Amino acid sequence: MMTFFLVLIALASIAVNVILVFYIREFFAKVNEYTEEVDSFFGNIKDFQDHLRSVYSLPLYTGEENLFSLLKHTNQIAEEIDEIAFLFEKVEPEEFESLDHEQDA
């Protein structure tokens, strides 16, 4: 009787572990997908910023206040995005160790 319960518990444990493995696999697939989308978004913002700078540097538009304000606003947004981008960067374990050592110093 005791063996029956132990086998039943072992089977339940195996079933739960299999379900968790599939869930974790799907979870990491979604995280990877979101990370790729965010990377694409950051790239688009950077391209827009570069394009706006190139337009502003044209002789026809140099000194144009509206474009200067737009460029300034774009730079502010790009700086905020750079701060947020740190959360989405893929940091290698070695980098974590170096950050820990810097904080200890």
Q: Using CB atoms within 10 A of its CB, is residue 100 exposed (0-12), middle (13-18) or buried (19+)? A: exposed
Q: How many domains does the chain have?
A: 1
Q: What is the span of the domain harbouring residue 80?
A: 2-104
Q: How far is CA 72 from CA 66, 68, 81, 86, 95, in A?
A: 10, 6, 14, 22, 33
Residues 26-56 pLDDT 10s: 999 998 888 888 888 888 888 888 887 787 7
Residue 103 has pLDDT above 50, yes or no: no
